[in-house]
Amino acid sequence: MPSFCQITPTFFPYVGGVANYVFRLSEVLSKHGNKVIVISTRPLRKAEQQIYTKAGKHYRTALSKYNIGVYSLDSRSQKIFYFLKFFYYLFKLRNGLLIKYVLLSSVPYLKTCVRCASDLSLTLSVIEKYKIDVIIGHAASYAGLVAFIVGRLLKKPQFTLLYGGALFVEYSRSKWSRKRIEFVLQNTPLFLSFQDNTTERALALGVPKRKIIKTMNCVDTVFFRPLHEAEIEKNVLQAEPENKMMMDQILEFKRNGGNVVLYLGLMEKAHGLEYLIQSLSRLSTQIENVLLLLVGPDYEGIWGELRKLARELKCLDKVRYLGVVPYELLPIIYNLASVVVLPPITKTSALHLAALEAQACGRPIVASIYAGLPEVVKNGKSGIIVDPHSIKELTEAIIQLLQNTELAEKLGRGGRKYAKRHSWDRMAQKINSIRVGYFEK
């Protein structure tokens, strides 16, 4: 079976859309008998190290079970070693692409030159060591640049998955970000795109249509599934003491007729959480026993601002921030929700995985018109699509699902049916078919 190397800007213990996608793809490719190596081009922040103990059991177990190798440059000694090895590759390969890479990735920030040269040297070393057959880049930015350069130098099949963030945010960040992304878009042989708006953006930037394959986000519908109360209680009993106490409280709230509104994703301003708090303030005056659960890492530190806003709007007692929840408890969190709300306010937000997981658990969703969510949440079939800038519209949609049980159940069934068509096994088959169809002709 062929071996794959995924080059990504983020990976576990960082928790986020790209990192989660890379992890799931690594897991399913390994299940299908492929050897998988992951290289993260981004060093860990101190706050992310804590996730090893809080949410990392499932990730660590899977990485060990499927023998998924993970590499990143996190120490100064590693950087120096691989920086020196870069000159070995410079002499060995004698290819102008190496200089082109350093210029694109480092200029005008020459202090990053060591880091960038080290990243490339590490990647070349790992691919040679494991005799990698296919290179997969994630995002048409720095990680995509590393993937393309290495694929071209070693004459390996290579393609890149497109994410909206790089094309919309990084492209407008600086002249050098634009140059880097344009280089990747012009030279990478093949792209996979999840969203129509990302595909349209890539086409507008000059990528030929023949180089883009539409693909899908995926979900494990065996792990994420509707649970009966008995199953939830059984899983709660097996949870760690800290998590068990929290889950018991939410479960008791539900038993007493409480309505749980859930947001799950990165705690970011771009995800419209300020509007969700304002909506909760109106919601709580019309529906009794409502509780908003916020779940996800707060890398931007915005929980303090949201808490202050909730206090000003006199609804702080109806908000609980759970932080990062262990992965094995996510299906329980989804199943405890009466409705899941995903209200991003920009095109670049990445909440597709959360939308699919919620639908796989049979939960009705209130989703934003932005970030390509209407491609995943079908209005009137698995959720209600709203403009989160309209607090009135957002609030009315949540109230409708909390008060109309029949509609909520109908949308939940529709979401489950939709999620079943987006399995990770189908994605693994597609990746292998791309490898055969496009690179082994």
Residue matched to tokens 């499932």: 58
Domain membership flag for residue 252: yes
How far is residue 209's CA from residue 203's CA, in Å, rounded to a whole number?
7
Asked if 190 and 152 sit in the same domain, the reply is: yes
* Residues constituting the chain: 441
Asked if 104 and 129 sit in the same domain, the reply is: yes
Which position has the higher pLDDT, 78 or 417?
A: 417
Domain membership flag for residue 223: no
CB proximity list for 222: less than 8 A, separation 6 or greater: none
In the prediction, which pLDDT does 192 show?
94
Asked if 236 and 375 sit in the same domain, the reply is: yes
CB 239 within 8 A of CB 249: no
Asked if 345 and 400 sit in the same domain, the reply is: yes
What would the pLDDT profile of 108-164 be if each residue is shown by its tens digit? 555 567 778 888 899 999 999 999 999 999 988 889 999 999 999 999 999 999 987
How far is residue 102's CA from residue 105's CA, in Å, rounded to a whole number?
5
Asked if 181 and 194 sit in the same domain, the reply is: yes
Question: How does strand 259-264 pair with strand 134-138?
Answer: unpaired
Asked if 164 and 112 sit in the same domain, the reply is: yes
Nearest to 14 by CA among 97, 138, 104: 138
Asked if 233 and 101 sit in the same domain, the reply is: no
DSSP of 338-370, one letter per residue? SEEEE---STT---HHHHHHHHHTT--EEEESS
Asked if 28 and 54 sit in the same domain, the reply is: yes
Asked if 185 and 142 sit in the same domain, the reply is: yes
Domain membership flag for residue 224: no
Q: Give residue 269's pLDDT band: very low, low, confident or very high (50, 70, 90).
A: very high
CB proximity list for 74: less than 8 A, separation 6 or greater: 43, 44
Asked if 282 and 335 sit in the same domain, the reply is: yes
Domain membership flag for residue 184: yes
3-state secondary structure (DSSP) of residue 68: coil
Distance of alpha carbon 182 from the chain centroid: 23
What would the pLDDT profile of 335-353 be if each residue is shown by its tens digit? 999 999 999 998 776 788 8
CB 324 within 8 A of CB 296: yes
CATH of the domain at 392: 3.40.50.2000
Q: What is the number of domains present in the chain?
A: 2
- Domain hosting 156: range is 3-218+423-439
Domain membership flag for residue 246: yes
Asked if 160 and 174 sit in the same domain, the reply is: yes
Task: Give Cα separations from 434 to 23, 68, 401 (angstroms).
Answer: 20, 22, 41
Question: How does strand 191-193 pair with strand 158-162?
Answer: parallel
Asked if 61 and 140 sit in the same domain, the reply is: yes
Domain membership flag for residue 255: yes
Query: What pTM was estimated for this model as a whole?
Result: 0.88
The highest-confidence range among 172-176, 241-245, 258-262, by mean pLDDT, is 258-262
User: Average pLDDT of 268-290?
Assistant: 94
Nearest to 397 by CA among 356, 340, 347, 348: 340
DSSP of 161-225, one letter per residue? EE-HHHHHTGGGT-HHHHHHHHHHHHH-S-EEES-HHHHHHHHHTT--GGGEEE------TTTS-
Domain membership flag for residue 7: yes
Domain membership flag for residue 372: yes
The two most distant CA atoms of the chain are separated, in Å, by: 71
